[in-house]
Structure formats: structure tokens, C-alpha cells
Amino acid sequence: MTPEEQRRLINARSDWFHSIDVGDGIVTPGVVSADYQRHLLRMLQLPDRLDGLRVLDIGTYDGFWAFECERRGASEVVAIDVNPIDCRCFKVARDLLDSSVKYHHMSVYEMDEEVLGGKFDLVLFPGVFYHLRHIIMSFDNIWKILKPQGTVLVESHVCNNYFVLGDGKVTTLKRLDRRLLKVPIFRFYRKNELNPVDWSNWFGGNVAALLDLMGSAGFTAEHLASWDSRAAFRGVKNPTLPREWEIGSYEGASFRYNHDGTWTATWHDPKLAQKR
């Protein structure tokens, strides 16, 4: 494809979100600048080389993260999004790059190991978490789709330095009460409190809340960086962590039905077991 053909394809779309370098000095005119994308890459500490790794990009949109992982040598990259492949600019970008990234029209709630071709070494989860109503389920599903010791890199809005009060004014948790920085809390955005032109935001947790939530899902979680109203995290799947939250459990108990129709209860908290 000639540079002129590339520019013609790019200019045919007015809804570019990512700034993607497609070669020959041509960069798509994304709302998110190339400089800020480089900043995100540094904050998430994406390794320079991903050779031999199978990677999943959740909420890929135009595909910047997926194509960057492919460029860094990942053996296979899969991208998913709630939009069809040609709804945004992913399909155009993939054609421009002659990329082999696989695309599935799928949400984080619908991830299926068989459909996606197996488990992954690395999952990218940037700019999605706070747009979800079912935030705990998202990390439960990511844990299931990762290989043992697999990694998830998360970037999200956090409320530490951007806490929206009931009257719409913005403050910080430190100004309200510095003790709130260590208390896992979530600010619920029922409408468009976070962004007047975006009603798709639901939860703004603080850093402590994100770390605790990831830990409860079975990840060894680490806070990588914070800036403005955003933060980056790394989670490593840890199959040895207790998973008392498993579906089918209630107040720390799991029930399994036996072949003879009886059931067996497992109490994950010894204190609860002693009370029964």
C-alpha cells in the first residue's frame, strides 16, 4: 500500500481514538496523542520484548495496545471489544499495518477460553475498568483466562486526586481526610458525574481499593504509578491465594453436591467453620 493510499484510508475516517504509527512517517489523527500513549507505555512498564508470549488486549478500540504488543514480538495477539471490528477504526488500522492480530467482538464478561484459543501469558486492561458495572467479575474472568503466573497490566481512573463531591465540585481524598487514602473505597457514578459528556463511567476506586480488589480475585497486585486522576497496576496470577469469593460460595463457604445427592461444605475461614 502506497503512502497516498494509506492517507486516503485514514482520512476516510473521522473517529480515530488512538494515534497509531503505520509507517512512512504517517500517524493516525487520534484523540489520544502519541506522546500520551508513550507516557502510558512507561507507566505500565510494558516490556520492550514480548517474544513467545500470548497476549490479550481487552477493550482494544482502535488497537494501539494490540499492535504495539505485536510490534514487540508477541507470538500471538488477540484483541476484544464491545464494538464490532469495523465500528471504530480497528479494521482500518489492521489493514494499514498488515497485522495478524485476531479480533473478537466480545466483552470482558463474555471471555471464553475455547473461543479465544486458550489462556494467555499477558492481559492488557487499560482504560476499561471504570467503565464497567460489574467490576469484580471483570478481574475474576481475567484470572481465569490467564496462565499460572500470568500477568495483567491495568490502567484506570482512580479517585485519589479526583474525588467528585455531591455538588459536582472536585477535591482530593487527602483534603477530605488523609486516612481515606488507606481505606479501600469506590465512588459510584450513577450518571455523568465523572465526565459530563460520557455516561459510561460507573466506579472510581482509590488505589487501595484497586489493589484489594485485585488481591481478592487471586492476583499478587502492585501499584506501579499514579498521575493526575489515573493509576497503573500490575497483577500476577497467584493460584495459591485463597479464593473464598468463588461463585457458589456464601460467607466463606463452598458447597459441592455428591453423586448420592448429599452435599459437602468447605469453610475457607476456620473461624466460620467453628461457628457452624
User: Per residue in 220-250, pLDDT tens?
Assistant: 999 999 999 999 999 999 887 765 455 445 5
Listed residue (190, 188, 111) closest to 157, CA to CA: 188
Q: What is the pLDDT of residue 247?
A: 47
The residue count for the chain: 276
- pLDDT tens digits, 113-147: 999 999 999 999 999 999 999 999 999 999 999 99
Residue ranges of alpha helices (H) inside the chain are 3-11, 34-44, 64-71, 90-97, 113-116, 135-145, 173-177, 207-216, 270-275
Residues of the chain with CATH 3.40.50.150: 3-241
Which residues are CB-neighbours of 267 under 8 A, at least 6 positions away? 252, 253, 273, 276
Q: What is the pLDDT of residue 267?
A: 65
CATH superfamily entry for domain 3-241: Vaccinia Virus protein VP39 (3.40.50.150)
pLDDT higher than threshold 70 for residue 74: yes
Q: 16-20: which pairs have CB atoms within 8 A and are 24 or more residues apart?
A: 16/62, 16/89, 17/61, 17/62, 17/88, 17/89, 18/61, 18/62, 18/63, 18/64, 18/89, 18/93, 19/64, 20/62, 20/63, 20/64, 20/67, 20/93, 20/96, 20/97
